Structure 1
Amino acid sequence: MRSGGWRPFWTSLLASLLVLVPLVGGTVLLSRQQLRAQLRQAARSESGVPVQLPRTTDQLTVLLCVSGDQPGFVLAYLNASQNCVHLLSVPAVLTVPFADEQAALAQCYAAAGPARCREALMQVLALPEDTRYLAFSPDVLERIASRYGPVRIGFSGALTEDELARYGRSRAVQGISAGDAHAFLCQLQADTALSPQRTAAARAAAWDAFFRQNAELLPTTLPDALRGVSSLLLTDLTALDYDALGRTLEFLANNGAAVEAQALPGRWDAASGTYTVTDASHAAVQTFFNVSPTEAQASSFKEP
């Protein structure tokens, strides 16, 4: 009787286990597979999402310098929250403070390099304290830019038809390599008959075309290109800055950022060869940073 009573119990228990064990095991296996799938999906999503929400740090102001007998200077402002790429070409003859005196920006560069030029510009223009500098030779510039091919540029907005003809060019938009563009801009800069603002406008047009036409390529290629020639650069850009550059360029490219370029206006004295800042210069810088005059005045009142 007793042994016969245990037999149905064990039979029922065994039958229950035969049902429950595969069920529980299958549930656990399915849960683990679902978890792994979710993790893989999350990883793919993170690697495939090209845009991150803009942060206050997703902006960069850089003084770009091209060295040589006729050095060129362009301020670049990239801001994700404003969704803009602004370029401000600064004439090489702009008068800046240097060694307790006044000197042209090009002279400042030749004597003390890009870091000192950045400091000098910060004394005459309202540039942020975290403005970086990046200087390269024409050869390095061409090496970086050659991977993007010729850039199509029209200089008609900066120069007249006669002035273009004097240098063998026309008003038509034309493809030009970085090396040829630099050589042409050096010719213009050496021409004392041209206003420095006109020459700077031509330089602005070249950089404007470069950023517009390569917007989709720059996020993944430009930071790596700069890292690849880091030993040939004069810059205070850090590894974090390169990451911020790539992230900001990616956001801007995916959101159709507005690219705007202009030359810094000023007072040109042909007799003395000096180019000095004016109210129009300060207004241009405010536009460059998307700051209204009211905001600029309010911030200046806060300064000690």
Structure 2
Amino acid sequence: MHKGGWRPFWAALGAALLVLLPLVGGTVLLTRRMLHTQLLAQTAEPQQGVPITLPKEDDRMTVLLCTAGEQPGFLLLYLNAPQNVCGLLAVPGELTVPFGDGEASLTRCYAAAGPARCRQALLETLALPEDTFYLALSPAVLEKLASRYGAVRVGFSGAFTTEELAALGQTGNVQTLSAGEASAFLTGLDEAGRIPPAHRAAARAAVWDAFFRQDLELLPASLPDALRAQSSALLTDFTAQDYARLGEILEFLANRAASIRADALPGAWDRASGTYSVTEASRAAVQTFLNVSPTDEQASSASEP
């Protein structure tokens, strides 16, 4: 009787399990599917109420970059995060600027009084923003900073005429240059003075254009720290806060694939006197450099999260 009495119990338990197990399994599968669907929805759509960092109106910076040496080079750098533009304007060293009680070339101004005085002279000559920074470094320091990013691929067909390229032993083909090779080429460019300053400045702009186009994504995380590490070898009015701000602006530009535009300052070149003077074309070029309008695509992307 005792042994036989267990049979109805086991039969009832088995029947209950046959009913309950599919229900429990189905509930578990349904719950997992619902959680997976919610996770996919959260991944595909931005969460409501989460702030998205966008550039502010003052996320912009103008810098006069001076390369020291016997033949110093000058480049204006304009970083504009709201307009998503990185502007480069190479300035010939022969440019006539106010100096003392008269005038002098930008190169002579640099040799006699340094980058701060060059900045002030260009503020007067080109109507640059009052908050323009200056940053001067030697070719050796520049090469050390730039070499970490590797060689650049650059062509000079847009900077020189065919005859000038032949005189320099160059072609219009794109070539790969290390930081040292690019610096040596620009420093020793046309020592005889046969090539107009605007063309030499255009070559400098082409090298910097290639550098920013090819390495923009790497700059936010590395360039400010690299400049800080070389601060003792720099002549600049940058502060610690300015280096941080530079990194933030570069990050905005890198994340949004900024438009990079490079040019050389036009002007009137008097070969006999060796002077390069500002013209209406010069002023127009500076205004374009400082007030670049974003393309329709950039404008629409800037308004989107």
1:243 paired with 2:221, answer no
What SS class does the counterpart of residue 212 from structure 2 fall into?
helix
One-letter code of the match for 2:58?
T
Superposition pairs of residues 1-304 of structure 1, within 5 angstroms: 52-290=53-291
One-letter code of the match for 2:123?
M
| CA-CA distance at 1:168 after TM superposition | 3.0
| CA-CA distance at 1:291 after TM superposition | 6.2
| CA-CA distance at 1:225 after TM superposition | 0.7
What SS class does the counterpart of residue 148 from structure 2 fall into?
helix
Q: Deviations over 1:267-296 (max 9, x none)?
A: 11111110000110100000001169xxxx
CA distance in 1, matches of 2:57, 2:287: 19
One-letter code of the match for 2:79?
L
In structure 2, the CA distance between the partners of 1:140 and 1:154, relative to structure 1 (3 Å rule), is: same
In structure 2, the CA distance between the partners of 1:189 and 1:133, relative to structure 1 (3 Å rule), is: farther
In structure 2, the CA distance between the partners of 1:219 and 1:189, relative to structure 1 (3 Å rule), is: farther
Query: Residues 168 and 190 of structure 2 are in contact (CA less than 8 Å); yes or no, is this contact kept in structure 1?
Result: no
Query: Residues 200 and 264 of structure 1 are in contact (CA less than 8 Å); yes or no, is this contact kept in structure 2?
Result: yes
| CA-CA distance at 1:146 after TM superposition | 0.4
Q: Please list every run of 5 or more consecutive structure 1 residues that lacks an aligned counterpart in the other structure.
A: 1-48, 293-304
Residue 43 of structure 2 is matched in structure 1 by: none
In structure 2, the CA distance between the partners of 1:77 and 1:141, relative to structure 1 (3 Å rule), is: same
Residue 15 of structure 1 is matched in structure 2 by: none
Normalised by the size of structure 2, how large is the TM-score? 0.77
What SS class does the counterpart of residue 188 from structure 2 fall into?
helix
Query: Residues 189 and 196 of structure 1 are in contact (CA less than 8 Å); yes or no, is this contact kept in structure 2?
Result: no
Query: Residues 164 and 195 of structure 2 are in contact (CA less than 8 Å); yes or no, is this contact kept in structure 1?
Result: no
CA distance in 1, matches of 2:237, 2:177: 30
CA distance in 1, matches of 2:84, 2:233: 31
In structure 2, the CA distance between the partners of 1:291 and 1:214, relative to structure 1 (3 Å rule), is: closer
What SS class does the counterpart of residue 215 from structure 1 fall into?
helix
One-letter code of the match for 2:95?
L
One-letter code of the match for 1:149?
G
CA distance in 2, matches of 1:52, 1:114: 35
| CA-CA distance at 1:179 after TM superposition | 1.5
CA distance in 2, matches of 1:65, 1:56: 27
What SS class does the counterpart of residue 193 from structure 1 fall into?
coil
| CA-CA distance at 1:185 after TM superposition | 1.2
CA RMSD of aligned residues (A): 1.5
In structure 2, the CA distance between the partners of 1:52 and 1:191, relative to structure 1 (3 Å rule), is: farther
| CA-CA distance at 1:189 after TM superposition | 5.0
Moved over 4 A (4+): none
What SS class does the counterpart of residue 148 from structure 1 fall into?
coil
CA distance in 1, matches of 2:76, 2:166: 29
CA distance in 2, matches of 1:91, 1:72: 7
CA distance in 2, matches of 1:288, 1:244: 21
Query: Residues 52 and 247 of structure 1 are in contact (CA less than 8 Å); yes or no, is this contact kept in structure 2?
Result: no
CA distance in 2, matches of 1:281, 1:176: 30
| CA-CA distance at 1:56 after TM superposition | 2.2
**Number of paired residues?**
243
One-letter code of the match for 1:204?
A
Query: Residues 91 and 197 of structure 1 are in contact (CA less than 8 Å); yes or no, is this contact kept in structure 2?
Result: yes
CA distance in 1, matches of 2:81, 2:195: 36
CA distance in 1, matches of 2:89, 2:175: 22
Query: Residues 85 and 292 of structure 2 are in contact (CA less than 8 Å); yes or no, is this contact kept in structure 1?
Result: no
| CA-CA distance at 1:234 after TM superposition | 0.3
Query: Residues 62 and 76 of structure 2 are in contact (CA less than 8 Å); yes or no, is this contact kept in structure 1?
Result: yes
| CA-CA distance at 1:164 after TM superposition | 2.4
Query: Residues 264 and 284 of structure 1 are in contact (CA less than 8 Å); yes or no, is this contact kept in structure 2?
Result: yes
| CA-CA distance at 1:188 after TM superposition | 2.1
Q: Please list every run of 5 or more consecutive structure 2 residues that lacks an aligned counterpart in the other structure.
A: 1-49, 294-305
Q: Deviations over 1:223-276 (max 9, x none)?
A: 111011010000001111111111111110111110000000011111111000
